[in-house]
């Protein structure tokens, strides 16, 4: 009997993934990762989930343990708090300091869930590892999940072929509604549990209060990029991302207002009025930290520049220093620091991190 070590998060997806693996005849072992220590990091303030003297991660562990006991599999627990801090959270803070918009979930998968987790699973004698991600492996190739609305291949785009070897995604072939149905049939404690949101493994936080623990809050001016007029004050560039409309303290206009750029040196947040403003639109970008998980090197493909964004047709030029020039037709809010994830049909072949955004072959000066 083949042995599978599955990451148990205390959520409904990993719970049902474990059930499916058992039904398929595997010997299943659960492994819970503790990747954030709220007591040491002193970040209870502003966490809406903390009540009854138990933090959310401890509640997740208790839920995972209850599920494992109910379906009859063992649960091990491992602490990766230091590794998460070093490889994911410091990256997150460094990117924010640069005024960029990072995606810590992608780095968490690259360095924690599919690196340190795999090493720990091997110690337990695993033939395979499994997670509750909505994705599929078809002929050793990472592919989109059946449920397009829940597909999570975007967050797996930095994994290489070796990391994806011997990986199972048990719920990639079913819809989210079916996952809930199975959980209810087994009367699992996680059956109606809300899907996790927020920063990977840190969870939901009052983002502004949370970041004050780690980065200085430096207020500055909001400037209309068309008129160069000061129209308000921002609370710190790290709290804003390109294309953002809500949370802007600007009066005196009925037009929709969008964040379109930042000047880190002068601590300026640039805004523009109207959904059709020219500043949000670009036609190419350069990506670095490029990763491919297979031998495909297409010159035409599709890409997503944000999670759940529709596919965009792209042309790819292969540059030096492991960088790519990605050309596309007028896409809004392509943002430095975010991931550009490349697809060939249903295959997710990899991607990179957006380094520079361009229009008409020129770098957009207002984007860092």
The token pair at 327 is 């050309």
Distances (CA, A) of 5 to 176, 185, 342, 357: 22, 23, 29, 41
CA distance 295 to 290: 13
Q: 108 catalytic, yes or no?
A: yes
CA distance 357 to 336: 7
Q: 340 catalytic, yes or no?
A: no
Distances (CA, A) of 306 to 94, 154, 160: 20, 8, 20
- Residue 261: φ, ψ to 5°: -175, 175
The helix-helix angle for 12-23 and 176-185 (nearest 10°) equals 70
Give the SS3 label for residue 179: helix
Q: Which of 108, 143, 285, 340 is catalytic?
A: 108
Closest CA to 133 of 115, 112, 154, 118: 154
In the chain, which ranges are E strands? Answer: 3-7, 27-34, 75-79, 128-130, 136-138, 141-143, 167-168, 220-224, 230-234, 257-263, 268-273, 281-292, 300-304, 312-318, 324-332, 339-344, 347-359, 362-363
Write down the residue that tokens 């050793």 correspond to. 140
Write down the residue that tokens 């998460």 correspond to. 84
Closest CA to 314 of 280, 354, 276: 354
Closest CA to 243 of 338, 350, 352, 157: 338
The helix-helix angle for 56-71 and 12-23 (nearest 10°) equals 20
Q: Which of 200, 285, 340, 348 is catalytic?
A: 200
User: What amino acid positions are annotated as catalytic residues?
Assistant: 108, 200
């Amino acid at each position: 009997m083949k042995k599978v070590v599955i990451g148990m998060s205390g959520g409904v997806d990993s719970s049902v993934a474990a059930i499916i693996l058992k039904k398929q005849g595997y010997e299943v072992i659960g492994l819970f990762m503790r990747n954030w220590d709220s007591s040491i990091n002193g970040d209870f303030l502003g966490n809406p989930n903390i009540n009854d003297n138990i933090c959310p991660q401890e509640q997740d562990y208790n839920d995972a343990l209850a599920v494992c006991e109910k379906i009859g599999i063992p649960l091990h627990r491992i602490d990766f708090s230091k590794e998460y801090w070093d490889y994911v959270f410091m990256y997150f803070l460094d990117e924010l300091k640069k005024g960029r918009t990072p995606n810590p979930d992608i780095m968490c998968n690259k360095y924690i869930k599919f690196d340190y987790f795999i090493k720990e699973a091997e110690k337990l004698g695993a033939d395979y590892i499994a997670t509750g991600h909505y994705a599929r492996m078809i002929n050793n190739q990472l592919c989109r999940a059946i449920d397009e609305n829940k597909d999570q291949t975007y967050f797996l785009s930095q994994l290489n072929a070796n990391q994806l070897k011997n990986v199972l995604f048990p719920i990639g072939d079913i819809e989210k509604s079916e996952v809930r149905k199975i959980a209810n049939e087994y009367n699992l404690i996680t059956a109606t549990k809300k899907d996790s949101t927020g920063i990977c493994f840190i969870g939901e936080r009052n983002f502004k209060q949370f970041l004050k623990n780690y980065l200085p809050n430096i207020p500055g001016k909001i400037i209309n990029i068309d008129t160069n007029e000061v129209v308000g004050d921002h609370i710190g560039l790290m709290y804003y991302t390109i294309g953002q409309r809500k949370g802007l303290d600007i009066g005196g206009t009925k037009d929709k207002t969008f964040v379109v750029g930042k000047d880190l040196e002068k601590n300026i947040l640039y805004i523009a009025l109207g959904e059709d403003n020219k500043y949000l639109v670009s036609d190419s970008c350069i990506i670095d930290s490029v990763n491919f998980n297979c031998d495909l090197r297409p010159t035409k493909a599709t890409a997503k520049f944000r999670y759940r964004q529709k596919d965009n047709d792209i042309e790819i030029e292969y540059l030096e220093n492991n960088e790519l020039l990605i050309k596309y037709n007028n896409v809004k809010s392509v943002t430095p620091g975010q991931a550009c994830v490349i697809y060939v049909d249903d295959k997710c072949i990899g991607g990179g991190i957006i380094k520079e955004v361009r229009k008409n072959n020129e770098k957009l000066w207002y984007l860092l």
